[in-house]
Amino acid sequence: MNLHEYQGKEILKSFGIRIQEGIVAENVEEALEAAKELKLKYKSDFAVIKAQVHAGGRGKGGGIKVAKNLEEVKEKSGQIIGMQLITPQTGPKGKKVRKVLVAQDVYYPGPSQPKEFYMSILLDRAKSRNTIVYTTEGGMDIEEVAEKHPEKIWKEEIDPKVGLRPFQARKIAFNLGLKDEAFKEMVQFVDKLYRAYVQSDASLMEINPVLKTSDDKIIAVDAKVTIDDNALYRHPDIEKMRDLTEENPIDVEAKEAGLNYVKLEGNIGCMVNGAGLAMATMDLIKLSGGEPANFLDVGGTANAERVEKAFKIILKDPNVKAILVNIFGGIVRCDRVAQGIVDAYNNIGNIPVPIIIRLQGTNAVEAKKLIDSSGLKVYSAIEFYEVAKILNEIVKN
């Protein structure tokens, strides 16, 4: 589950990490109120208006702006709230900005120069270990740094037997070139960030930039946090942060129905049991000249109720011109699944697009007979290659 910047920062703060403080606003009036409050507290006319959407690269798309005074807060929050923000991560359609974070200015003048770093904690899948990735090149796109200056990216692997050790936190602070007060602050920052990551079951905590302020404090200026969905059961407070407006409404509905669905841009819908077979089926659709309209894992049981829900969800997408049902009945018998499909079809009424039903596995022959004698206007198949042929003909016509 992805979080907004302000939600990620809330979690960090609860672990004692210094953050760039801010107040969420959903309209210009609220933004002004927030800016006034920040001004009182931090004695600065400056404020940063930051679009809260689940996508990186917000600055590039005009979703982050600095306001020098209240007049500019009004002007710039007005520009950002409600805009369709397009960043390298949103796709061409962009994302509607529903709220902004009005944040304090942390780049104030002081005894030393401010300096930006990058730090993230994530799972290194090849090693099955948590890893801290960091660089002195903060504030930039990390993929760009990785490409141009791979030597500037450091990695610190955490041994799960002992967790993060103090020498590792010191190593990180030294590598970032810090000393004195800023060094001590960074050692604490790393320790707290690692604890926040593990204890909130994050799969990613990316802080870009981590700022050393002009008075040698270490601050998280941004926070990109992803939480492991499988661990949400032990974090009810974080689960409440889910923002459904950031998710595709059909995906949300599918989830509520217990189906694993991802909407895609193609024209051939599919319903499959098992995630691997579902992806393989999408690939077959493409190889047969079509484009998959979705990923849908209907699960192991594939009974009439689930099949019906799956049909309804696929049919909500107006781009769908045909539907492929691909079930490998192992423990679940194909003739049962077939009956489920027939019942679901009859319950929905007339399904306006051609359907290909491929049932393979236990009682596959009986299942095909059942489908063929049901009077439904569907194509039936047993072998995977037959599906490819039928698809090919449908796509041609």
Partner 1 sequence: MGVLVNKNSKVIVQGFTGSEGTFHATQMIEYGTKVVGGVTPGKGGSMHLDRPVFNTVYEAVQNTGADVSIIFVPAPFAADAVMEAADAGIKVIVCITEGIPVQDMVVAKEFVKSRGGRLIGPNCPGVITAGEAKVGIMPGFVFKPGRIGIVSKSGTLTYEAADQLVKAGLGVSTAIGIGGDPVIGTSTKEAVELLMNDPDTDAIVMIGEIGGTYEADAARWIKANGNKKPVVGFIAGQTAPKGRTMGHAGAIVGGKDDTAQAKMEIMRQNGLYVVESPAEIGKTMASVLKGVNV
281 binds partner 1 (CB under 8 A): yes
User: Residue 397 has what DSSP assignment?
Assistant: -
- Which of 35, 119, 186, 285 is in the footprint of partner 1 by CB under 8 A? 285
CA atoms of 47 and 39, how far apart (whole Å): 8
The single residue of 6, 206, 308, 379 carrying the catalytic annotation is 206
Cα gap 263→271, rounded to integer Å: 12
Check binding of 93 to partner 1 (CB under 8 A). Answer: no
The residues, any chain, with a CB within 8 Å of residue 376's CB and separated by 6 or more, are 342, 345, 355
Rule CB under 8 A: is residue 269 a binding residue for partner 1?
no
For position 71 contacting partner 1 by CB under 8 A, the verdict is: no
Sequence-separated (6 or more) residues with CB below 8 Å from residue 276: none
The least distance separating partner 1 from the CB of residue 242, rounded to whole angstroms, comes to 15
Any contact of residue 282 with partner 1 (CB under 8 A)? yes
Stretch that binds partner 1, among 164-172, 278-286, 304-312, 343-351 (CB under 8 A): 278-286
Query: Is 27 one of the binding residues for partner 1 (CB under 8 A)?
Result: no
Alpha helices by DSSP H, listed for 22-86, are 28-42, 70-80
Annotated catalytic residue within 6, 118, 134, 379: 118
Contact between 139 and partner 1 (CB under 8 A)?
A: no
Per-position x/- string for 296-325, each x denoting binding to partner 1 as judged by CB under 8 A, each - no binding: -x----------------------------
Tell whether residue 273 is a contact of partner 1 (CB under 8 A): yes
Contact 110, 215 (CB under 8 A): yes
Classify 254 as helix, strand or coil.
helix
Burial track 78-116 (b if 16+ CB lie within 10 A, e otherwise)? eebbebebbbeebeeebbebebbbbbbbbbeeeeeebbb
Q: Which of 291, 305, 317, 366 binds partner 1 (CB under 8 A)?
A: 291
How many residues can be counted in the chain? 397
**Is residue 233 close enough to count as binding partner 1 by CB under 8 A?**
yes
Among 29, 71, 143, 237, which residue sits at the site for partner 1 (rule: CB under 8 A)? Answer: 143
Q: Which residues 320-359 are close enough to bind partner 1 by CB under 8 A? A: 328-331
Contact track, partner 1, 375-394, x by CB under 8 A: --------xxx-xx------
Nearer to partner 1, 284 or 325 (CB): 284
Cis status of the peptide bond prior to 236, with omega within 30 of 0: no
Q: How far from 330 is each of 81, 166, 210, 268, 276, CA to CA, in Å? A: 51, 51, 51, 25, 15
The Cα–Cα gap between 97 and 63 comes to 8
Q: Hey, which residues are catalytic here?
A: 118, 206
- What residues line the site for partner 1 (CB under 8 A)? 89, 123, 125-126, 128-130, 143, 159-161, 198, 201, 203, 228-231, 233-234, 260, 262, 264, 266, 272-287, 291-292, 295, 297, 328-331, 360-362, 383-385, 387-388
